[in-house]
Every structure is written in structure tokens, then in C-alpha cells.
């Protein structure tokens, strides 16, 4: 095998929680995603040469960026003293509930592993990705897991054996709408309830079970109905999401089956059974946020089944 000089990897956006599954479910989207290019360096350590697509908001300091921290951990994992240089291109909006910090970490680690000739298999990369994510969001795999592995994932811990793929509904189309407001993950976590009454827990666990059952039966209407039944995060965070109730009502009128908050928000994800319904829903939600003066970025996408991937290597 010829030694590579430059590798660029893509890691997809992802949605933590998936509505009903606070801190246990994740879902990868085909788009948007972050790309990281990696090349060898004569200097030791990890250097970030440039970050594009972030409007100058992200730090170049290698101990402050999730991609470089993750890559540095990867190099320790394989006992390498080789230095590398990173170019990070943010396709993902920051602090939007789409797993931006996770995607950069995953793309960086996936690229450097390919540059080194794939000494580790995909699943073994999780630990390094988690180290990167941890400097921003703590040790949690609900974005790193789906971004690395693709699909819809159940996450019951931080080991690779704690992450399982669940079936992906065949007709599912997603509309991602990111209103132009800031919701910091830390602030969104601060409003969460510290505990829940038993009757709420019974309803929550029942709908979690129904969600998994419906995925296996490919019953998209039941999947989405279960997704919307969350009693943990949405009731606590709804006030942080502008026009949430109206967005849900408008999305359903346009043909969507339902709508949930993506991760900690403010991105909303409308779930549709086909491309036409998704296009109509996107159009209706765009109009809502334009008329309200907030503005929003939107797109139609599907569940990404592949996870991180190499898009260019020289």
C-alpha cells in the first residue's frame, strides 16, 4: 500500500435524544456534516492550520478544539509520536443541537486513522472521538456514536459495546430547521428537571419501549408518535425554542408526522414519510421563521446509514 500524504474525512450531523430518548438515542443525518483534512507534519504534536465555515468563532489552539484533542488522543492510542496538521471545515452550525463538536472530532479521528493506514477499526475510534467531545460536552456518545457509526443508535454507556444500531424506518425523511437563535448546550442542560415523578417515568419508559418496537416493525407513524411523547427534555426546554408549538402544528398541517427538538436545540427536526411531504414541511417552516423575523436555515435530509467516511485521499 502506498503511503498516503493527505486524507479528508466527512462526519455527519446527528440528533441526540431523538425526542423520547433523553441521553440514550442518537440519529445520524446524511447532511450537513463536517470535513477534516489531515497531513503529516515535521513538527511534533497536532496543529490546526485553518478552520473554515465557523465565522471565526472556533479556537485554533489544539487543546481547545474537539478535532485536535481527539486526534491527539488517537495518536496516544497507537503510540505514535508523529506530528499531524489539520484543516477543519465546518459544514455544521455551532451550538445548534446537531452534534457540531462531535462531528469535528469524528472526522478528524477518521481521517488520521486512514492517513496512518487504518491501524484501528472503525469501532475502536470511539474512545478518541469521546475524548474530543468531552472538552465541550462531557463524556457522552449520543452524538459521537451516530456520527461515527451512522444510523439510529441506542447508547447505554461510553464503551463501544454500549452502542447498538436500531433499525432505520424505510420511508423516513427529515426536515432540519435551525432558527437563528443561540441555545448553549450548558444552558439547555441547566433547565432540565432534577427528578421526575413515578407516573411520568412509567409513561416515558412505555414510549421508549414503543419507539424501539415500532422501529423493528417499520411502523413510521408509531415511531414518530413515540418520539413526540418525551416528558423529560421537551417540557423543560420548550421555552428556549422559538415558536415550537406553532412549528409542530404547521409541520403537521404540511404533511409531517411529527416534530421534535434535535438534541439541546434550537434545531427542530420534522419527521416525514416521503420527500414531497418533507419539501412542503420545509417550505412551511421557512415561512414561519421568515415571517416571525427570526430567520432560519433549513434542509431536507435522510438518516445517514454509513457514518464517517473518507471523501478524498492523495
Contacts with a second copy by CB under 8 A lie at 21-25, 154-156, 164, 166, 192-198, 201-213, 216, 232
Q: What is the smallest separation between the CB atom of 305 and a second copy, expressed in angstroms?
A: 17
User: How far, in whole angstroms, is CA 55 from its chain's centroid?
Assistant: 20
90 to each of 97, 223, 269, how far by Cα in Å? 14, 31, 20
**For residues 164 and 275, which CB has a smaller minimum distance to a second copy in the complex?**
164
Calpha distance 278→27 (Å, rounded): 17
**For residues 155 and 268, which CB has a smaller minimum distance to a second copy in the complex?**
155
Q: What is the smallest separation between the CB atom of 146 and a second copy, expressed in angstroms?
A: 15
Q: What is the smallest separation between the CB atom of 156 and a second copy, expressed in angstroms?
A: 4
Q: What is the smallest separation between the CB atom of 212 and a second copy, expressed in angstroms?
A: 4
Calpha distance 4→171 (Å, rounded): 39
Phi, psi of 96 (to 5 degrees): -115, 0
Residues ≥6 apart with Cβ < 8 Å to 205? none
Go through the chain and tell me how many residues it has. 314
**For residues 55 and 193, which CB has a smaller minimum distance to a second copy in the complex?**
193
**For residues 173 and 210, which CB has a smaller minimum distance to a second copy in the complex?**
210
**For residues 206 and 274, which CB has a smaller minimum distance to a second copy in the complex?**
206
Q: What is the smallest separation between the CB atom of 126 and a second copy, expressed in angstroms?
A: 17
Calpha distance 152→169 (Å, rounded): 10
Strand-pair partners of 133: none
Calpha distance 38→116 (Å, rounded): 10
Q: What is the smallest separation between the CB atom of 23 and a second copy, expressed in angstroms?
A: 5
Please return the burial class of 42, using the count of CB atoms within 10 Å of its CB with bins 0-12, 13-18 and 19+: exposed
Q: What is the smallest separation between the CB atom of 128 and a second copy, expressed in angstroms?
A: 23
Query: In this structure, what C-alpha cell is assigned to residue 216?
Result: 423493528
CA 249-254-258 angle, to 5 degrees, is: 55
**For residues 54 and 218, which CB has a smaller minimum distance to a second copy in the complex?**
218
Q: Determine contact, residues 154/161, Cβ cutoff 8 Å.
A: no
Cis peptide before 32 (omega within 30 of 0): yes
**For residues 212 and 285, which CB has a smaller minimum distance to a second copy in the complex?**
212
Amino acid at each position: 500500500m502506498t503511503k498516503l500524504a493527505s486524507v479528508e474525512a466527512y462526519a455527519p450531523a446527528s440528533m441526540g435524544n431523538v425526542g423520547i430518548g433523553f441521553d440514550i438515542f442518537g440519529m445520524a443525518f446524511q447532511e450537513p456534516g463536517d470535513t477534516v483534512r489531515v497531513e503529516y507534519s515535521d513538527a511534533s504534536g497536532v496543529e490546526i492550520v485553518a478552520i473554515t465555515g465557523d465565522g471565526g468563532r472556533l479556537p485554533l489552539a489544539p487543546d481547545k478544539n474537539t478535532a485536535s484533542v481527539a486526534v491527539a488522543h488517537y495518536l496516544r492510542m497507537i503510540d505514535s509520536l508523529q506530528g499531524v496538521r489539520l484543516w477543519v471545515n465546518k459544514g455544521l452550525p455551532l451550538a445548534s443541537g446537531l452534534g457540531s463538536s462531535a462531528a469535528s472530532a469524528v472526522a478528524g479521528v477518521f481521517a488520521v486513522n486512514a492517513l496512518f493506514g487504518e491501524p484501528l477499526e472503525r469501532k475502536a475510534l470511539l474512545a478518541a472521538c469521546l475524548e474530543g467531545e468531552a472538552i465541550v460536552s462531557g463524556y457522552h456518545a449520543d452524538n459521537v456514536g451516530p456520527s461515527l457509526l451512522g444510523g439510529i443508535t441506542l447508547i447505554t454507556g461510553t464503551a463501544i459495546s454500549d452502542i447498538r444500531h436500531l433499525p432505520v424506518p424505510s420511508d423516513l425523511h427529515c426536515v432540519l430547521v435551525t432558527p437563528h437563535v443561540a441555545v448553549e448546550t450548558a444552558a439547555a442542560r441547566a433547565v432540565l428537571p432534577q427528578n421526575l415523578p413515578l407516573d411520568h417515568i412509567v409513561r416515558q419508559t412505555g414510549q421508549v419501549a414503543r419507539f424501539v418496537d415500532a422501529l423493528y416493525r417499520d411502523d413510521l407513524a408509531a415511531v414518530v408518535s413515540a418520539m413526540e411523547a418525551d416528558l423529560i427534555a421537551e417540557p423543560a426546554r420548550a421555552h428556549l425554542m422559538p415558536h415550537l408549538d406553532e412549528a409542530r402544528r404547521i409541520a403537521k398541517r404540511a404533511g409531517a408526522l411529527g416534530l421534535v427538538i434535535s438534541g439541546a436545540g434550537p434545531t427542530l427536526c420534522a419527521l416525514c414519510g416521503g420527500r414531497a411531504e418533507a419539501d412542503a414541511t420545509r417550505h412551511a417552516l421557512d415561512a414561519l421563521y421568515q415571517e416571525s423575523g427570526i430567520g432560519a436555515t433549513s434542509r431536507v435530509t435522510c438518516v445517514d446509514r454509513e457514518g464517517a467516511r473518507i471523501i478524498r485521499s492523495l
